[in-house]
């Protein structure tokens, strides 16, 4: 239970924010790093796994079961287990986030590839595309909108989850929450919440922009 | 020429899709594969570009077994059009059309210039070149599909129900335009359809397949209508095949009667003298004006002032078939069809009985 701040304590102390701007900027950069790198790693792993699942359909149900199970694991439990192996490092926070990304993106890649209409695939075969060329030039580009939808979910949820890492001392903006709670001081908490939301909105907007550039054809 | 030599296809689940099919698709002609669903017509088409490998038998192109060439290379030399066009949604119209030239390593600039040229050829505005398929109507997409199949100028084209997904009006336009195009290009075409009307319209020769992948009859449209090989083919062609056969009797073969054709200033007496129930009035240039019923004429004045029934439509004795003539007769108030030449001048009229006689003569040959 958080004690109510003293009556004369304002909700936000702007002078505190100004004095600590450099530290907060550092935490923000850390937060971006901690949330974006796992998304990239997750995507790099999810692509071949998703392709394999689309190619050999029988492996998809077991793979889906494993990724769903990973998604259900509480982040804090994973951190505690991983500390034994990777210590109090960035890696400890990024591994669970990469796993969450993976569990969102593998179904995304599979659904994206399944969304390629059969007549389009047939036409590609009939015009003389080999399997690899068909995948790279026809199937993957058509799967992009569905994969991008997964990427947006993974990115935003990572940005929110990074803060949990503050419980083991590595949490980007999350450290503002622990600091605020420990000192019964609302300013860093509010700053942390506002910056996390702004970061999530900015990242999502950026991904929407990237998708528009990648798939001009999907706008009618 | 495409040759099927005892081609059979049995799928792993035991279904027989093709059962010992042998036929030849002549160079420069449209060979239509028609039949009920499950008749193996699409399977047969796909053996040509190795999308289906026969269980036994061979498919030859100009005497060479298709299996002697790697599939991808073989396919780049064979145009392919499918039902929903199969366009790539992520590529512009120009790039869709240029697909095979790109695969063959042609430069973007040249391939796109050729794509625009092809767009005009298939009746598309080249201004659409930068659009994406989803921005086009079904009929336009199908035209793009045809242009794409033509892009590398392949001698052979495989068309799998290419016009089935569009509405009947657009389908009719696409069929007519494609026939015009084919008259210039002389491709060797295999055309699959389940629609016997389309088969008769498009085909130089028609192969009828029945369930189980059996080829039941392989003949010209005219012979197919005149002499179906068995009850299956007769049923498939439909009850109105007699009327359809009229399409193959040129109107020029009809014997036209011009006794009941009179100038509009002729007298009632002259009309009675023809012995006909109706007379056709013409202007000074002998162009048709309308019909007058002789039995209703009481006074003996000029026919010019008598009540006239409208002309209905006429048929061209040089260009039309007996089917157009029959249509004109059925819709005419007098029950007679008016035949005109290219200048619209009346050659004579024909009754449905005259038309029937013409078919009789045709069958007797």
Q: What is the pLDDT of residues B18-73, one digit of tens each?
A: 999 999 999 999 999 998 887 899 999 999 999 999 999 999 999 999 999 999 99
Distance of CA A219 to the CA centre of its chain: 25
Rg (CA), chain B: 26
- Partners of residue A138 in chain B, C-beta under 8 Å: 88, 90
- Nearest CB to B90; choose among A126, A133, A217: A217
- Nearest CB to B73; choose among A120, A128, A218: A128
| For residue A6, pLDDT beyond 70 | no
What mean pLDDT is predicted for residues A181-198? 91
What's the farthest any 2 CA atoms get from each other in chain A? 77
| For residue A93, pLDDT beyond 80 | yes
What are the domain boundaries of chain A? Answer: 14-213
DSSP-assigned letter for residue B276? -
pLDDT for position B133:
95
Give the Å distances, CA to CA, from A13 to A6, A8, A20, A28.
Answer: 13, 11, 11, 19
In angstroms, the separation between the Cα of residue A130 and the nearest Cα of chain B is: 6
Note whether B82 contacts A125, CB cutoff 8 Å: no
- Partners of residue B74 in chain A, C-beta under 8 Å: 128
Q: Which of A105-109, B104-108, B216-220, B308-312 has the lowest mean pLDDT?
A: B308-312
**Plot region of B203 (φ>0 → left; ψ -120 to 50 → alpha; else → beta):** beta
Contacts of A61 (CB under 8 A, 6+ apart): none
- Partners of residue B146 in chain A, C-beta under 8 Å: none
Domains of chain B (ranges; CATH) run 2-248 (3.40.50.300), 251-364 (3.10.580.10)
Q: Is A115 on the interface with B (CB under 8 A)?
A: no
Q: Is A129 on the interface with B (CB under 8 A)?
A: yes
Q: Is B49 on the interface with A (CB under 8 A)?
A: yes
CATH class of A14-213: mainly alpha
Rg (CA), chain A: 21
Higher-pLDDT residue of A54, B244: A54
| For residue B298, pLDDT beyond 80 | no
Q: Which residue has the tokens 């002549």?
A: B26
**Plot region of A81 (φ>0 → left; ψ -120 to 50 → alpha; else → beta):** alpha
pLDDT digits (tens, 9 = 90+) for A136-186: 999 999 999 999 999 999 999 999 999 888 888 888 888 888 888 888 888
pLDDT for position A3:
47
| For residue B296, pLDDT beyond 90 | no
- Nearest CB to B88; choose among A120, A125, A215: A120
pLDDT range class, residue A1, cuts 50, 70, 90 = very low
Q: Give the pair of three-digit tokens for residue B351.
A: 């009754």
> Are the beta carbons of A67 and A103 closer than 8 angstroms?
yes
Higher-pLDDT residue of A172, B182: B182
**Interface mutation target, options B89, B135, B153, B164, chain A, most CBs of A under 10 Å:** B89
Four-point Cα dihedral B175, B99, B85, A128, nearest 10: 100
Q: How far apart are CA B60 and CA B3, in angstroms?
A: 5
Q: Is B334 on the interface with A (CB under 8 A)?
A: no
pLDDT digits (tens, 9 = 90+) for A29-40: 999 999 999 999
Four-point Cα dihedral B296, B299, B301, B303, nearest 10: 0
pLDDT range class, residue B362, cuts 50, 70, 90 = low
Note whether B86 contacts A123, CB cutoff 8 Å: yes
Q: Is B94 on the interface with A (CB under 8 A)?
A: no
Neighbours of A155 (CB within 10 A): 22
Q: Is A132 on the interface with B (CB under 8 A)?
A: no
What mean pLDDT is predicted for residues B339-355? 89
- What average pLDDT is seen over chain B? 90
Interface predicted TM-score of the whole assembly (ipTM), two decimals: 0.80
**Interface mutation target, options A113, A126, A133, A217, chain B, most CBs of B under 10 Å:** A126
> Are the beta carbons of B77 and B148 closer than 8 angstroms?
no
> Are the beta carbons of B140 and B119 closer than 8 angstroms?
no
Q: Which of A73-87, B65-79, B84-98 has the lowest mean pLDDT?
A: A73-87
Q: How far apart are CA A53 and CA A41, in angstroms?
A: 18
Smallest CA–CA distance from A123 into chain B, residue: B86
């Amino acid at each position: 239970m958080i004690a109510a701040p003293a009556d004369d304590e304002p909700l936000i102390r702007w002078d505190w924010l100004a004095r600590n701007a450099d530290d907060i900027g550092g935490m923000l950069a850390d937060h971006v790093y901690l949330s974006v790198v796992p998304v990239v790693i997750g995507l790099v792993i999810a692509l071949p796994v998703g392709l394999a699942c689309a190619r050999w359909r029988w492996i998809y149900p077991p793979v889906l079961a494993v990724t769903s199970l990973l998604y259900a694991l509480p982040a804090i439990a994973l951190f505690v287990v991983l500390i034994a192996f990777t210590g109090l490092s960035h890696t400890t926070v990024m591994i669970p986030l990469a796993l969450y990304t993976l569990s969102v993106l593998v179904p995304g890649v599979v659904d994206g590839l399944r969304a390629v209409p059969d007549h389009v695939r047939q036409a590609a075969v009939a015009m003389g595309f080999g399997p690899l060329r068909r995948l790279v030039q026809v199937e993957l580009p058509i799967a992009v909108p569905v994969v991008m939808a997964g990427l947006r979910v993974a990115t935003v949820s990572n940005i929110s989850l990074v803060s949990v890492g503050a419980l083991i001392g590595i949490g980007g903006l999350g450290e503002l929450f622990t600091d605020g709670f420990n000192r019964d001081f609302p300013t860093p908490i509010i700053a942390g919440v506002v910056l996390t939301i702004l970061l999530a909105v900015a990242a999502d907007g950026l991904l929407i922009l990237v998708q528009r550039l990648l798939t001009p054809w999907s706008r009618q | 020429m495409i040759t099927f030599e005892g081609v059979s296809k049995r799928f792993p689940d035991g279904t027989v899709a093709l059962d010992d099919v042998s036929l030849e698709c002549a160079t420069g002609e449209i060979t239509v594969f028609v039949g009920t669903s499950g008749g193996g017509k699409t399977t047969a088409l796909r053996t040509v570009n190795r999308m289906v490998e026969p269980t036994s038998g061979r498919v030859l192109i100009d005497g060479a077994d298709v299996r002697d060439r790697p599939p991808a290379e073989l396919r780049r030399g064979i145009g392919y059009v499918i039902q929903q066009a199969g366009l790539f949604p992520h590529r512009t119209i120009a790039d869709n059309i240029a697909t095979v030239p790109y695969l063959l390593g042609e430069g973007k600039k040249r391939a796109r210039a050729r794509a625009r040229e092809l767009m005009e050829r298939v009746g598309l505005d080249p201004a659409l070149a930068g659009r994406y398929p989803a921005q086009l109507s079904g009929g336009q997409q199908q035209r793009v599909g045809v242009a794409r199949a033509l892009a590398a100028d392949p001698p052979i084209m495989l068309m799998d129900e290419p016009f089935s997904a569009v509405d009947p009006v657009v389908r009719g336009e696409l069929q007519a335009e494609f026939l015009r195009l084919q008259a210039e290009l002389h491709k060797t075409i295999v055309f699959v359809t389940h629609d016997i009307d389309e088969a008769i319209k498009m085909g130089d020769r028609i192969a009828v397949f029945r369930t189980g992948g059996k080829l039941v009859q392989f003949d010209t449209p005219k012979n197919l209508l005149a002499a179906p090989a068995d009850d299956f083919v007769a049923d498939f062609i439909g009850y109105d095949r007699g009327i359809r056969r009229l399409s193959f009797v040129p109107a020029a073969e009809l014997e036209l009667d011009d006794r009941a054709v009179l100038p509009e200033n002729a007298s009632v007496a002259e009309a009675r003298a023809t012995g006909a129930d109706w007379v056709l009035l013409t202007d000074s240039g002998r162009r048709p004006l309308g019909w007058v019923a002789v039995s209703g004429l009481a006074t003996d004045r000029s026919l010019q002032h008598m009540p006239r029934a409208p002309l209905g439509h006429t048929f061209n004795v040089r260009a039309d078939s007996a089917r157009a003539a029959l249509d004109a007769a059925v819709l005419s108030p007098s029950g007679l069809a008016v035949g005109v030449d290219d200048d619209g001048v009346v050659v004579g009229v024909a009754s449905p009985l005259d038309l029937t006689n013409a078919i009789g003569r045709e069958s007797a040959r």
